[in-house]
């Protein structure tokens, strides 16, 4: 007896099209949010672009009050040439670079070890000490200027790079951020390393830090930017022109004959250019570090 094979085969279900893609619905809220963010971005960008445009004007065009993006004389690098010829810009840039790197390395090392101690170690007074660290975040840095200056004076560190570096290596906010990240690291990884005979420092160095590269990179970039931009403390503690940082040194080359708008804007562009380059290079690390720090999901 033969059986019709057509009755044993179920009809094949229609295959979904591999070219079909789910399209996200564009909501009114998303459009409004995008429009607001675009307006805020434009509002932030316009002053910066105006500063750049002014830096490429002559002093006569910059002081004329005529709201033109390009002066009547056309774009010129006269302001930049004047700034670069009047001071030790390259020495100041080197001073800013190596002191900012030193501040960043020391700050990240201290903050990481302090944050790990608060996250994993159980010692007497731990809770109150961490509360003190959190409370110090809201203390304005200007309040500490006089005692820090007197301390550097006592230790004979005025007009030295160490007097510039050491008061800037304490960053309570970075300790808080790193502690939140360390709290999220699975304790089982450390327990497994401890079973293998690893010491506490070995666990911190070989297990915790490799897992913390994104947040460490983000913290390092924020500290570097803050150290590079710092003006008040370097201005007070450094008087020797060969030891000045770039933001302080550039202030000394502004002409005393009235306000030189083009030179001021050229100075601002020169001081901000390295930070823009750093951000463009490490923007992925900054975003990833913020996303993994715990603030995005809580």
Per-residue pLDDT of the chain (298 residues; tens, 9 = 90+): 444 544 444 455 555 554 445 556 778 878 888 889 899 888 888 888 888 888 888 777 777 766 777 766 777 878 788 777 776 788 888 899 899 999 999 999 999 999 999 988 888 888 899 999 888 888 888 888 889 999 999 999 988 989 999 999 988 989 998 998 888 888 888 888 888 888 888 888 888 888 888 888 888 888 998 898 888 899 999 988 888 888 888 777 665 555 677 778 887 788 788 778 877 777 776 666 666 554 444 3
> Of 227, 234, 223, 242, which is closest to residue 149 (Cα–Cα)?
234
Q: Which CATH number belongs to the domain containing residue 187 in this structure? A: 1.10.3720.10
pLDDT of residue 18: 47
pLDDT at position 225 is 86
pLDDT given at position 60: 74
96 CB neighbour count, 10 Å cutoff: 23
Instruction: Tell me whether residue 242 is in a domain.
Output: yes
The CA distance from 249 to 239, in Å, is 10
Contact 168, 245 (CB under 8 A): no
Q: Is residue 221 part of a domain?
A: yes
Report the domain count for the chain.
Answer: 1
HEC sequence for 101-139: HHHHHHHHHHHHHHHHHHHHCCCCCHHHHHHHHHHHCCC
| Residue 223 falls inside a structural domain | yes
Q: Is residue 285 part of a domain?
A: no
Q: Is 22 inside any structural domain?
A: no
pTM above 0.85, yes or no: no
Q: How far apart are CA 175 and CA 293, in angstroms?
A: 11
99 in a domain, yes or no? Answer: yes
What pLDDT is recorded for position 104?
93
pLDDT for position 5: 47
Expressed as residue numbers, the domain containing 127 is 87-253
In a domain, 30, yes or no: no
Residue linked to tokens 């004076």? 153
In a domain, 239, yes or no: yes
């Amino acid at each position: 007896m033969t059986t019709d094979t057509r009755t044993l085969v179920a009809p094949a279900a229609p295959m979904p099209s591999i070219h079909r893609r789910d399209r996200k619905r564009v909501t009114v809220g998303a459009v409004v949010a995008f429009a607001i963010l675009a307006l805020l971005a434009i509002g932030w960008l316009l002053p910066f672009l105006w500063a750049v445009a002014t830096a490429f004007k002559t002093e006569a065009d910059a002081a004329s009050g005529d709201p033109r993006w390009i002066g009547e004389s056309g774009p010129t690098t006269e302001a930049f040439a004047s700034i670069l010829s009047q001071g030790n810009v390259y020495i100041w840039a080197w001073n800013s670079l190596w002191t900012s790197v030193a501040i960043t390395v020391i700050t990240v090392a201290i903050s990481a070890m302090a944050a790990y101690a608060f996250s994993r170690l159980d010692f007497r007074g731990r809770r109150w000490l961490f509360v003190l660290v959190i409370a110090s975040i809201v203390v304005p840095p200007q309040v500490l200027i006089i005692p820090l200056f007197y301390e550097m004076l006592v230790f004979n560190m005025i007009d030295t790079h160490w007097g510039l570096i050491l008061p800037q290596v304490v960053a309570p906010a970075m300790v808080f951020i790193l502690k939140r990240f360390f709290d999220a690291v699975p304790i089982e990884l450390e327990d497994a390393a401890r079973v293998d005979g690893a010491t506490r420092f070995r666990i911190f160095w070989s297990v915790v830090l490799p897992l913390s590269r994104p947040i460490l990179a983000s913290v390092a970039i924020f500290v570097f930017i803050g150290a590079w931009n710092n003006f008040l403390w370097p201005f007070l503690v450094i008087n020797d022109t060969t030891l000045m940082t770039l933001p302080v040194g550039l202030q000394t080359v502004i002409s005393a004959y009235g306000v030189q708008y083009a030179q001021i804007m050229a100075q601002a562009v020169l001081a901000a250019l390295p930070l823009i380059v750093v951000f463009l290079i490490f923007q992925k690390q900054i975003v990833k570090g913020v996303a993994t720090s715990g603030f995005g999901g809580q």
